């Protein structure tokens, strides 16, 4: 599969590039655009972005590996990232992970056979006051309990 930004994403990326003194400063934005377009950051996407921004592949790879916001493999339509850092852990995050695993019949790091859900554990997502919480794609679900999760899974399954 050939990796190439859509015309719209090239325009967006060029707008970002024009805000900075050099192309390299647009790397995080370029990676985010690739993830939005393809759902994850493949090796091909990293090479394409490196060429586009005139950055060595190894640098792009290092950035992708460092930031947890970039998916390093395909994920389901709904990526459920449960925070398991201190506040969430103390308020039952691991029980939430076990419950979601049981409900979806997958383990953390796996995707349901229909490609609808991926479950992951995440480091701090910065919503400690509303623990336990998770990020579903780009929005937060907070103050989680089994009833709230059951309702959410049911709504997303429609």
Per-residue pLDDT of 25-69, as tens digits, reads 999 999 999 999 999 999 999 999 999 999 999 999 999 999 888
Find the CATH number of the domain harbouring 19: 1.10.10
CA atoms within a 13 Å half-sphere pointing along the CA-CB vector of 94: 4
Whether 119 has a pLDDT exceeding 90, the answer reads yes
Task: Locate 69 and state its tokens.
Answer: 């916001």
Nearest CA to 49 among 61, 67, 39?
61
Provide the number of structural domains found in the chain: 2
Question: Pick from 95, 73, 74: which is nearest to 84 by CA?
Answer: 95
Residue 1 in domain: no
Res. 123 pLDDT band, cuts 50 70 90? confident
Q: Which residues pair with 82 in a beta bridge?
A: 121, 134
Mean pLDDT, to the nearest integer, of 60-79?
94
Residue 119 belongs to domain with CATH number: 3.40.30.10
The predicted structure's pLDDT at residue 57 = 97
Task: Using DSSP, state whether 134 is helix, strand or coil.
Answer: strand
Residue 151 shares a structural domain with residue 108: yes
Decide if 123 is inside a domain: yes
Express as a percent the part of the chain with pLDDT over 90: 95
d(CA 85, CA 135): 13
Strands 134-136 and 139-141: antiparallel
What's the CA dihedral at 58, 62, 64, 66 to 10 degrees? Answer: 180
Across 84-111, average pLDDT: 97
Q: What is the mean pLDDT of residues 111-134?
A: 95
Q: What is the mean pLDDT of residues 94-120?
A: 97
Shared domain for 11 and 60, answered yes or no, is yes
How confident is the model over 130-137, as a mean pLDDT? 96
Is residue 73 domain-resident? Answer: no
Say whether both 58 and 86 belong to one domain: no
In which domain, by residue range, is 21 found? Answer: 7-66
The answer to whether the beta carbons of residues 128 and 137 sit under 8 Å apart is no
């Amino acid at each position: 599969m050939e990796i190439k930004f859509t015309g719209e994403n090239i325009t967006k990326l060029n707008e970002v590039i024009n805000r900075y003194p050099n192309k390299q400063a647009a790397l995080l934005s370029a990676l985010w655009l690739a993830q939005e377009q393809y759902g994850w950051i493949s090796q091909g996407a990293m090479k394409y972005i490196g060429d586009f921004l005139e950055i060595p592949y190894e640098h792009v790879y290092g950035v992708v590996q460092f930031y947890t916001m970039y998916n390093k493999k395909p994920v389901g339509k709904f990526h459920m990232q449960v925070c398991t850092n201190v506040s969430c852990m103390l308020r039952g995050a691991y029980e939430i992970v076990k419950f979601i695993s049981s409900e979806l019949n997958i383990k953390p790091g796996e995707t349901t056979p229909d490609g609808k859900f991926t479950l992951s554990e995440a480091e701090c997502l910065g919503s400690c006051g509303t623990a336990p919480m998770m990020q579903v794609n780009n929005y937060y679900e907070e103050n989680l309990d089994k009833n709230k999760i059951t309702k959410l899974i049911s709504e997303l399954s429609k």
